[in-house]
């Protein structure tokens, strides 16, 4: 699997393009669950993670997938663009705490990325344009 990065992601101008770049279609780091779940929980409670998480939120202005105008109104999830494994946590690999592998998401966007379901995404109202006064036309 190709490593996904923030520098590639921000080149994609639309929310949907960024979502498609990140989507996992239900393939998550299965090894981080089950008997090894404590590793995940310890990591996400660590001082290093909280510091990195705050940096990413500031960088992305609290916007969903870093897109201006898509401010997250409730909980902000800082998403690892590349699935995390037990080995990543045990070996403390760079991708865990490097902002170039992280992005802000809303809960619904995070679920959509994880399960590959764009129906979970929050859609914004269509922008009005000149001549769109007839509501039933497209």
* Continuous H helices in the chain: 6-9, 15-22, 37-44, 47-59, 86-91, 107-115
Tell me which of 105 and 116 has the higher pLDDT. 105
Q: How far are the Cα atoms of 7, 42, 81, 84 from residue 3, in angstroms, in the given order? A: 11, 24, 8, 12
For the cut 60, the answer to whether the pLDDT of residue 57 exceeds it is yes
Helix (H) / strand (E) element for 80: namely strand 77-80
Predicted TM-score (pTM) of this structure:
0.81
Domain boundaries, the chain: 6-120
Given a cut of 70, whether residue 89 has pLDDT beyond it is: yes
Q: CA-to-CA distance for 54 and 42, rounded, in angstroms? A: 17
Tokens, residue 38: 């404590």
Query: Which pLDDT score, from 0 to 100, does residue 78 have?
Result: 97
Nearest to 15 by CA among 80, 69, 75: 69
Q: Is the pLDDT of residue 11 over 70?
A: yes
pLDDT exceeds 90 at position 107: yes
């Amino acid at each position: 699997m190709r490593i996904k990065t923030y520098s590639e992601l921000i080149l994609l101008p639309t929310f949907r393009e960024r979502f498609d770049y990140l989507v996992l279609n239900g393939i998550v780091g299965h090894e981080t669950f089950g008997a090894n779940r404590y590793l995940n929980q310890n990591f996400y409670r660590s001082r290093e993670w909280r510091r990195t998480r705050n940096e990413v939120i500031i960088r992305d202005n609290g916007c969903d997938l870093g897109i201006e105008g898509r401010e997250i109104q409730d909980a902000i999830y800082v998403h690892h663009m590349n699935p995390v494994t037990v080995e990543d946590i045990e070996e403390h690999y760079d991708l865990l705490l490097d902002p170039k592998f992280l992005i802000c998401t809303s809960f619904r966007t995070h679920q959509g990325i994880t399960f590959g379901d764009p129906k979970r995404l929050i859609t914004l109202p269509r922008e009005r344009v000149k001549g769109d006064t007839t509501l039933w036309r497209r």
